[in-house]
Amino acid sequence: MISRLYRQGNISLYLKVQDNNGTWSDEVRSRVAVSGEAVAAPVIISFNASPGSITSGGSSTLSWNVSDATTVSIDRGIGNVALTGNRAVSLSTTATYTLTATNEAGSVTATAQVIVSAAPPPPPAGLPVISSFTANPGSITAGDASTLSWSVSDAAVVTIDHGVGAVAAVGSTSVSPATTTSYTLTATNAAGWASATTQIIVSAAPPTEHTVTILPVVDESGYVRDTGVPWPKFIYVGDDNNDISLQAFASFDISGIPAGATILSVVVDFSDYNTIYGDPFGSLGCLRVYPHDYGSLDGGDYFAGSPLGALLRYCSAGEIVAHSDTYVKDALQAKVGSSRFQVRFQFNETATDGAGDNDLVAWTSSHLPKLIVTYSGP
């Protein structure tokens, strides 16, 4: 049997066989084209230690769940393990365990820490005895909960700080700290007091993704003629049958995107235009879209000439399709925290062709350009 992994390319194979009399056949050569396939990296779905805090000589359980790996191993003497499983460990000092998952694409790692505190010395005669005080799990994401559990004897009063208050001698309670917090249990009787501490490590919650579709505010959008006359509500760009150049303006309300948000992607969809009059792309050239903070639409917003800095360019009606655009994403990111993202449409290669007919791209209130924005943040 021939067993070998080839990734990609043309492979030459040579083959000879031997019969029962020991005679070899002629050598046969074959050339094989091997198509490589992308191999995804392993995924470590979870790896944690519970409880995350123990006293010296106590035990914690490591649990893990891995997919798409050929081998999984844990250091500190544990070695190779199954894709999913758990293992009890007993420690005398704080330790960090590293899980490594490997396949053809490479290796990924994750860590889990077990915090070990010194075993409490034997209490003086008559003092309360704290048999256990733990947090499970010992590590959480902000917004999640952990359970404090304890067992105390010979105590008149048992309290836990950080707002938990007085508790029974044996019990448990759920807590949800916003940041890494050490909880202290204090047990008191007539002879004095004893205390124990356990810690909950809190990591930041991943940002939440939101997707919104944003349309222009019709009353703030429209077009401006080169004669300085604004026409609100009708987003027309090109030239009309009086050979007057028109530039379109669109005002997108982005006040719903919170300050501090990160724009992940913007799909620009200007394809739902109402109609195209004449042949604007053949007569006037390419349609360009520019950032333009015009505020309220007026005659002075018309921009003569051929400026640089266009976000978008369409040189035919067939190019006006929905697409993800990095330039618009960056421009929108710069406006996060404000209420409007405004743009100007213009044919700047030829303002008017002098033909005495309409060459226009038109959007109206029932057919508007839109931005589909995905962002992360609060």
User: CA angle, corner 282, sides to 276 and 283, nearest 5?
Assistant: 90
Question: Which of 159, 179, 203 is at the close of a domain?
Answer: 203
Q: Which residue in 190, 194, 191, 160 sits closest to 177, CA to CA?
A: 160
* Pair 250, 187 in one domain: no
Query: For strand 192-203 and strand 139-141, is the pairing parallel, antiparallel, or unpaired?
Result: parallel
312 and 174 co-located in one domain? no
Task: Tell me if 75 is assigned to some domain.
Answer: no
- Looking at the fold, whether 135 and 263 belong to one and the same domain comes out as no
Co-location of 243 and 362 in the same domain: yes
Number of domains in the chain: 2
CATH number at residue 175: 2.60.40.10
Domain encompassing residue 185:
129-203
197 and 216 part of one domain: no
C-alpha span between 317 and 164 (Å, rounded): 66
Q: Hey, how many other C-beta atoms are within 10 angstroms of the C-beta on 164?
A: 14
My answer on whether 247 and 340 are in the same domain is yes
Q: Are residues 244 and 222 in the same domain?
A: yes
* Residues 222 and 332 both lie in one domain: yes
* Rounded Cα distance, 291 and 112, in Å: 48
245 with 364, same domain: the answer is yes
Q: Is residue 292 part of a domain?
A: yes
Look at residues 120, 109, 13 and name the one whose alpha carbon lies nearest to residue 57: 120
3-state helix, strand, coil in the chain (%, to 5): 5, 55, 40
Give Cβ neighbours of residue 334 (< 8 Å, ≥ 6 apart).
none
Domain boundary at 142, 176, 203, which? 203
225 shares its domain with 318: yes
Q: Single out the residue in 203, 234, 258 at which a domain terminates.
A: 203
Same domain as 256, residue 362: yes
User: pLDDT 10s per residue in the chain (378 long)?
Assistant: 333 444 455 666 667 767 777 777 777 777 655 555 567 899 999 999 999 999 988 999 999 999 999 999 999 999 999 999 999 999 999 999 999 999 999 999 999 999 998 877 765 679 999 999 999 999 999 999 999 999 999 999 999 999 999 999 999 999 999 999 999 999 999 999 999 999 999 998 888 899 999 999 999 999 999 999 999 999 999 999 999 999 999 999 999 999 999 999 999 999 999 999 999 999 999 999 999 999 999 999 999 988 999 999 999 999 999 999 999 999 999 999 999 999 999 998 999 999 999 999 999 988 999 999 999 987
